[in-house]
A and B are shown apart, each in its own frame.
Chain A
């Protein structure tokens, strides 16, 4: 448990080595670049916005290309899997990729282009299909749709609304005979007709037709419908062929997917490098890089740099006033909780890294909330299995996540045994339902469902231990800052006040009766603890407003600080969630088991039993594991951190390879 000590680093080197030095630093990932020195007449910063823009475009082009490839070849998707992790690649591969880059880039462009062609062809096909649908009713017409008639005749080609029969149409047009009517096709919505009349009567026929709702078709084409249809179909086929060709090409291009992934990483790494480049101070021959580095890495990096390049490296301890970034380091047991701490906020100045203590309580509290040996076993074995199976490839963050639940699971098993819960009362139910004899595994301590008051008391007692540890942490922090007054006034007085209040409660008959304790402390203890509480309360009133000079204000502030004891009360009560969530798990288990036992009748009884139990417990484990996670985090953030930890530090963000598919690091860091 430690906040790593930081040093300022200044590297001054020749410009000709710039690329290689930056690449080395990037792979090491140990330096956070910062701008300590400002520009002046000699030293200038480079404008990198143009190349950075290009690289950003390149990155997104590669990303698009990968997405497209995955869309059309879903089977060979081998993207970044959380468990499989990123592939490790030697630096020589990185260096040699520069030659390949342009050709891969071209292929990316081609992929994006192909995708566009496919989309366009698909749109075209939709359009053609609509056209052919409109044409469909006219297929039987063997003359062009816009046929207007011959020398002595006039023809009308069009549609009538609704369904018409031939004789109905003749009826309507009876007065204008002689004429010829053909029904080309008919449906409920419309009837397509062809009417031929002599030219003299065309006005009259036209009027008649109009009066019964005749309209000309939307299509006008010199070709006759079936020819037109053929043409449409061939165009559709042509487009389909195009799509197929494009798809095939994309399938072929799928083989270079790995190269494109590499390109994306390559471009994003270069982008990061350019961003750093833009922050360097440079003259025509020399550049200076300033930044922060963890002290323990300093010598290592210096020797590496000196081995390969001619340069000057200087280290300095940062000033007190500086905004130094924070990097935490923890052992394997507490490391998983470090992300939770950083999720709150990295420790601020003068604060210690609380990861170790927090992790201890985290596992204990989590286990108490879930408190079922069966569930714990499932969580532990699942996480353990994954950790072992993917131990070589797994990503650091995933590993920590799994490790956290591994430890939480172990703690859950422990508390499950203490409180006698194995998938709730599964053993009782199974033995009673199927073997006719009830067997109960006795708990190591007691059944919380049977003695909720005792469990409540235990929860709150644990809460007091947690809170007192928080106060202890504050004490330690004050000690490190040599603020001895604060230790006395802000920590010790509170310890005395809270401790004596708890003891005083134990001497009260009413309280002991409520919680069902078997012992009561004698009245003499009550007197002593009462006096102690009074003295410490008075002390708090007098001292906790000590930053104010005005005595009146000071007392008021002290009184307000004493009012903070209500905060402690609500903090302690807040730990009752340990009981509530533990009960929730247990009782829902009981419900599931009971339902399963009730349904397990007859020959297929055991099968129904197993199905209900599997479904129910899967649901329960999911919900309660989530609940325990959320509320453990809350107890840490609100109750525990509230006592000593404010955070406010800035996380160390090194200049490194922020890649998606490949790892280029020469050495794995633990951060």
Chain B
């Protein structure tokens, strides 16, 4: 039973990449649909709508980041990989903020992005404000990323 630690740790890393990735894929997809609609009317807005489309894409990268830090910490990328069940569960838990917040914030941010794209379609000069609405949602993904990073790095120095 003691060998199951690594299983949970790896599952956590994979969920972080998986859920955040799915969320970002959904989000960027939604943004892309809206952006493409704008481009049919006015191709000159490409740069602006592209930025708005990309905003929900960051969660996927954060998820990748967490997965990578975890993988290198637990020794999957070379090194020792024996750990107790408790430590494995700790890693699992540490990955969860990024996994869940990453997923939901990407989808919700995409909806804000789609609305912002509609703003840019009508009033391109309001791009700055439109962008902020979408960026607001990302705050929570960043906070989740922060906690996940701190937790994963911290677990390494625990005495369990």
Contacts and interface: CB of A to CB of B under 8 A. Distances in A.
Interface of A: 340, 343-344, 452-453, 456, 573-574, 576-577, 579-581, 583-584, 587-588, 590-591, 594, 623, 626-627, 630-631, 633-634, 637-638
Contacts of B146: 456, 576, 579-580
B129 A344 contact: yes
A634 B128 CA distance: 9
A594 B61 contact: no
A634 B127 contact: no
B65 A587 contact: yes
Given A630-B55, A633-B131, A577 B68 contact: no
Interface string B119-140: 0000001011101100110110
B132 A633 contact: yes
Contact of B127 (A343, A573, A579, A594): A343
Given A631-B135, A634-B135, A594 B150 contact: no
A638 B153 CA distance: 30
Interface residues of B, number: 29
Given A591-B68, A630-B51, 18 more contacts: A343-B125, A456-B150, A574-B139, A576-B143, A576-B146, A580-B145, A581-B142, A583-B149, A584-B61, A590-B68, A623-B58, A626-B54, A627-B58, A630-B131, A630-B135, A631-B138, A634-B132, A637-B132
A445 B132 CA distance: 32
Nearest to B50: A626
B128 A584 contact: no
Contacts of A634: 132, 135-136, 139
B85 interface: no
Contacts, number: 71
Nearest to A459: B146
Contacts of A623: 54, 57-58, 61
Contacts of A580: 142, 145-146, 149
Interface of B: 51, 54-55, 57-58, 61-62, 64-65, 68-69, 77, 125, 127-129, 131-132, 135-136, 138-139, 142-143, 145-146, 149-150, 153
A343 B142 contact: no
Given A452-B150, A452-B153, A580-B145, A638 B132 contact: yes
Contacts of A577: 139, 142
A630 B116 CA distance: 14
Contacts of A583: 65, 149
Given A634-B132, A637-B132, A626 B51 contact: yes
A552 B124 CA distance: 47
A65 to B, nearest CB: 19
Nearest to A341: B128
A573 B51 CA distance: 25
Contacts of B55: 630
Q: Which of A344, A588, A591 is packed against the most chain B CB atoms within 10 Å?
A: A591
Contacts of B58: 584, 623, 627
A343 B131 CA distance: 11
B41 to A, nearest CB: 15
Contacts of B149: 452, 580, 583
Q: Which of A344, A587, A637 is packed against the most chain B CB atoms within 10 Å?
A: A587
Contacts of B61: 584, 588, 623
A579 B125 CA distance: 31
A136 B138 CA distance: 64
B129 to A, nearest CB: 7
Contacts of A630: 51, 55, 131, 135, 138
Contacts of A453: 150
A540 to B, nearest CB: 27
Q: Which of A573, A584, A633 is packed against the most chain B CB atoms within 10 Å?
A: A584
B139 A343 contact: no
A459 B51 CA distance: 26
29 contacts: A340-B128, A343-B128, A344-B128, A452-B153, A453-B150, A456-B146, A456-B150, A573-B143, A576-B142, A576-B146, A579-B146, A580-B142, A583-B149, A584-B61, A584-B145, A587-B65, A587-B69, A590-B68, A623-B54, A626-B54, A630-B55, A630-B138, A631-B142, A633-B128, A633-B131, A633-B132, A633-B135, A634-B136, A637-B132
A593 to B, nearest CB: 12
A573 B147 CA distance: 12
